[in-house]
Structure 1
Amino acid sequence: MANQHQNGQGEQVTNDQIIALLRSYKWRIIGFFSFLIIAILFLTLGFWKTILILVLCLIGVGVGYIKDRTQDFLNLLNRLS
C-alpha cells in the first residue's frame, strides 16, 4: 500500500514538472503551433488565400478587442481628437 502511495507522488512530481516546463516555454510553444498552422495553410491553400484568412482573423481580433474594451477604445478616440 505504501508503495502505491509513493508512485502516486512520483507521478504528481512529474506532472508538476511538465506543467512548470510548459509554463516556462509558453510563448515559444504558442508561437511554434501558430506558425505551424500558418505553414500548413500556405502549403494547402496558397499564399493569397492564407493572407486573406490572416487579415480577416486580425480584423476579427480587433473588433473583439473593441467590444471587450469599449470604454478604453472611446478614451483612445477622445485623446486622438
Structure 2
Amino acid sequence: MTELIKAYFWPLIGGIVGLLLAVLFITFGFLKMLFVLIFMAIGITAGYYIQKTGILTNVFK
C-alpha cells in the first residue's frame, strides 16, 4: 500500500486538491472560493516564512 502511495503521490495530491476546489466552487461560488484560495495562499506563505526563518522556534524555546 505504501509503495502505491509513493508511486502515485503527486497525482493523488492533485486529485485531492481538485476535489477540494470543486467542493469549494459548488458550496461558495466562484468569488467566495477565490477569496478563500487567496487567504489560503497568504497563510501558506506566512507559514513557510515562519518555518524558514525560525521566528516562532526562538520565541517558544
Whether TM exceeds 0.5 here: the answer is yes
Q: For the pair shown, which has the larger CA radius of gyration, 1 or 2?
A: 1
Aligned residues: 54
Give the gaps of 5 or more residues in structure 2: 55-61
- Give the alignment's TM-score, normalised by structure 2: 0.82
- Give the alignment's TM-score, normalised by structure 1: 0.63
1:44 Cα deviation after fit: 1.2
Give the Cα separation in 1 of the matches to 2:29 and 2:43. Answer: 21
Give 2:29's aligned amino acid: G
Which residue number corresponds to residue 11 of structure 2? Answer: 28
Which residue number corresponds to residue 60 of structure 1? Answer: 43
Give the gaps of 5 or more residues in structure 1: 1-17, 72-81
1:22 Cα deviation after fit: 1.1
Deviations 1:43-66 (A, max 9, x none): 111000000000000000111111
Give the Cα separation in 2 of the matches to 1:39 and 1:67. Answer: 30
